């Protein structure tokens, strides 16, 4: 009997404030969509880093014959200079950061160059003497690039120290900026959702103040009086969260998996499984918003 009464009260409240309820659903949907987009963007960044940072290497290009770099003033890197660099890389301070070192001679570089560019029209003008010998270094932690850079840059026989992370960092910066923008918009929209839920519950409580007064006089508990109002906000917010999850799922399914993953399948992308893992969090956030708004509002507007 009590359960039926609570359901009827919820139905009455939702009908009386239908436009406000729809507004709560829409604002919750938009705000949680931004929250989900921010989380998924960070997930995508971590997938990128997990896949590519492990493959990133530092290339120490040695001086070729005609380089104009100051450290190459004496011409092509000599055998002694190469041995000195090997000694530096083998030193305890540097080797602790290194996972693997591969020396690539000019002949090795030429074989790779020939394999990749032999069909280009300008290939015939190149020769093995135009190649750079190089050390290719993989680090235990790619973030520690600066240690190798500071140690080897400026040494005799070294033309350039190149970190492949420089290729990926601009992309990561763009994605991080997108995350910050989405998070900022999500914060504003979540605040709007809280205010709308609060207003909806307040209007519902005011419109039924006479009924709540009678319930109080006949001995109804505070929880029994407030529960229909709390559930109204929770239902509206939960519907908005479910719509947000659905929107994110469709976006990932058709934009990421259906388009990007088929056209650029060498990149690890987020999947609909990531959205499903995020779904309970978004629904929980919606329920928490409704609970906070209900507690703040009902403590004042259901008093008799």
Determine the CATH number of domain 58-163. Answer: 3.30.70.3040
**For the residues of 246-286, what is the DSSP string, one character each?**
HHHHHHIIIIIIIIIHHHSTTS----HHHHHHHHHHHHHHH
Instruction: Return the higher-pLDDT residue of 248 and 118.
Output: 248
**pLDDT over 90 (residue 145):** no
Q: Within the chain, which residue ranges are assigned CATH 3.30.70.3040?
A: 58-163
Tell me the C-alpha to C-alpha distance, in Å, between residue 105 and each of 38, 89, 110, 222. 45, 17, 9, 82
| Per-residue confidence (pLDDT) for residue 203, from 0 to 100 | 66
Measure the CA dihedral 254/260/261/266, to 10°: -170
**pLDDT over 70 (residue 207):** no
Percent of the chain predicted with pLDDT > 70: 75
Residue 139 Rama label (left phi>0; alpha psi -120 to 50; beta): beta
The secondary structure of residue 236, as a DSSP letter, is: H
209-263 tens-digit pLDDT: 655 555 555 554 555 555 566 677 778 888 889 999 999 999 999 888 888 777 7
Instruction: Name the residue with tokens 């690539």.
Output: 104
Tokens linked to 120: 């280009």
Range of weakest confidence among 33-42, 159-168, 201-210, 285-294: 201-210
**pLDDT over 60 (residue 6):** no
Among 14-18, 150-154, 299-303, the range of highest mean pLDDT = 150-154
- Is 204 in contact with 229 (CB distance < 8 Å)? yes
73-107 tens-digit pLDDT: 888 888 898 899 889 888 888 888 888 888 988 88
Other Cβ atoms less than 10 A from the Cβ of 11: the count is: 12
**pLDDT over 80 (residue 199):** no
265-276 tens-digit pLDDT: 667 788 999 999
Of 230, 231, 211, nearest to 220 (Cα)?
211
CA distance 282 to 286: 6
| Per-residue confidence (pLDDT) for residue 275, from 0 to 100 | 93
Can you tell me the mean pLDDT for 152-179?
A: 78
Banded pLDDT at 1 (limits 50, 70, 90): very low
Percent of the chain predicted with pLDDT > 90: 9
Banded pLDDT at 128 (limits 50, 70, 90): confident
């Amino acid at each position: 009997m009590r359960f039926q009464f609570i359901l009827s009260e919820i139905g009455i409240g939702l009908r009386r404030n239908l436009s406000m309820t729809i507004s709560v659903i829409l604002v919750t949907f938009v705000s949680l969509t931004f929250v989900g987009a921010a989380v998924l963007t960070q997930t995508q960044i971590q997938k990128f880093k997990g896949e590519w940072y492990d493959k990133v290497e530092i290339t120490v290009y040695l001086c070729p014959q005609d380089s104009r770099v100051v450290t190459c003033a004496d011409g092509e890197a000599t055998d002694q200079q190469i041995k000195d660099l090997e000694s530096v890389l083998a030193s305890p301070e540097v080797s602790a950061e290194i996972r693997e070192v591969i020396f690539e001679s000019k002949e090795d570089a030429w074989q790779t160059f020939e394999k990749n560019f032999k069909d280009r029209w300008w290939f015939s003008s190149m020769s093995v003497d135009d190649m750079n010998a190089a050390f290719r270094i993989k680090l235990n932690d790619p973030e520690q690039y600066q240690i190798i850079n500071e140690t080897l840059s400026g040494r005799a026989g070294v033309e350039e120290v190149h970190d492949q992370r420089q290729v990926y960092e601009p992309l990561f910066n763009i994605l991080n900026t997108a995350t910050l923008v989405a998070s900022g918009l999500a914060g504003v929209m979540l605040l709007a959702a809280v205010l709308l839920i609060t207003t909806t519950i307040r209007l519902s409580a005011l419109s039924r103040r006479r009924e709540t007064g009678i319930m109080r006089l006949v001995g109804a508990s505070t929880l029994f009086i407030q529960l229909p109002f709390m559930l109204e906000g929770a239902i509206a917010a939960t519907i908005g969260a479910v719509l947000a999850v659905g929107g994110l799922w469709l976006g990932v399914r058709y934009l990421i998996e259906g388009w990007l993953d088929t056209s650029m399948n060498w990149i690890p992308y987020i999947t609909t499984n990531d959205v499903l893992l995020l779904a309970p969090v978004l629904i929980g956030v919606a329920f928490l918003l409704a609970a906070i708004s209900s507690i703040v509002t009902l403590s004042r507007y259901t008093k008799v």
